[in-house]
Each structure stands twice: as C-alpha cells, then as structure tokens.
Amino acid sequence: MTYGSRDWQKWVLEEEEALPLLKHAYDVGINTLDIADLYSNGCSEEIIGKALQNYDIPHENVIILTKCQYGISRFGELQLSVFAITVNDGQMMPAWKFQLLQNLAKKNEWHKFIRMQNYYNLLYREEKLQEGKTNKAIITAVEEVAKARGVSMAVVAIA
C-alpha cells in the first residue's frame, strides 16, 4: 500500500524507492505481503513481482496475500499463497454465506476458505457497524444487572 504510483497518493514510494526497501524487508525476515489492486491502482502488485524477479527471491519463501478481483497476471509466473475472494456488496459476509463457500470447496475438492478480511481501518470499521445493535443490548443488560446488584459493570462482565 505504501509503494506504487504517486498518481494514487502523494505519500506512496515509487518503484525505484520501493524495490530496495522490499529487498531489505525480505533480508530481515519479512516474507508475508498483503496486497490488492486497490493499493496504488495495481502498481504495488507489479512492483512485488519485479522485486521477486530482480532480487532472485524464491517464490516458495514468500507468502503473498491478495484479492482475486483482477487475477494474478501482474505477478508474472508467481503462484499466490492465499487467494481471497473480494466481497463487494458493502457488508460483512454472513456466516451462513461463508459456510456455503466451505461446502462448495468441499464438494469440488478445493482447499477450504481460511479467512475473511473486512474493511478495518482508522476511518471505517465494518464489523463495528454490524455489532452496534447487539453490543448496545448487551451493554444495557449488563448495566441493569450491575445496578441491581450494586456492583460495577466490569464485575458483572467478568462474573
């Protein structure tokens, strides 16, 4: 996300700055990279591919996480470690939908789905929006019990 094209964001490192940084990161033991087309309009994916190729970093020594919205052509001959399906409906995927994917994977003898990555950043925390009503009801119930017993809400929460 921090490297690619300044056409996306002014703070982004261009390719010539990013390549040595990626090499150094690998040399000190960082081998997992989470990227997406969204990050720098796909340029970050291209730079990852170039770094692996230019510095002869063995693909089997690197774990690359990406979203399968645009395919893997930007990586060259690279096989991805984890391939994620992007959910574009603006909401968290309900557990029952995730289970349908697990059933589909089992039926077709695919590798099971192992994660779901929601939007979670400083400005937007998707799961917090979904939890709001449930949390409010729980907090209200804990508060009522605490008042009735003459104890703090923390005491009720850990009881």
Find the CATH number of the domain harbouring 118. 3.20.20.100
Question: Do 64 and 112 share a structural domain?
Answer: yes
Question: Do 47 and 62 share a structural domain?
Answer: yes
CA distances from 92 to 18, 102, 107, 129 (A): 33, 16, 24, 10
Question: Do 157 and 106 share a structural domain?
Answer: no
Total of domains in the chain: 2
Instruction: Name the 3-class secondary structure at 103.
Output: helix
Question: Do 141 and 99 share a structural domain?
Answer: no
Question: Do 28 and 56 share a structural domain?
Answer: yes
Question: Do 24 and 85 share a structural domain?
Answer: yes
Would you name the residues annotated as active-site residues? 39
Q: Report pLDDT for 144.
A: 96
- The token pair that represents 91 in the structure block: 């909401």
* Environment class of 64 (CB within 10 Å of its CB; exposed 0-12, middle 13-18, buried 19+): buried
Kindly give the confidence (pLDDT) of every residue in the chain, 159 residues in length, as a single tens digit, with 9 standing for 90 and above: 688 888 888 888 999 999 999 999 999 999 988 777 777 777 887 888 899 999 999 888 888 777 655 555 556 555 545 555 555 555 566 778 888 888 988 998 887 877 666 666 666 666 666 666 677 888 899 999 999 999 999 999 888
Question: Do 65 and 26 share a structural domain?
Answer: yes
Q: Report pLDDT for 105.
A: 86
Q: Report pLDDT for 149.
A: 96
Question: Do 142 and 67 share a structural domain?
Answer: no
Q: Report pLDDT for 1.
A: 61
Write out the residue range of the structural domain in which residue 153 sits.
Answer: 130-159
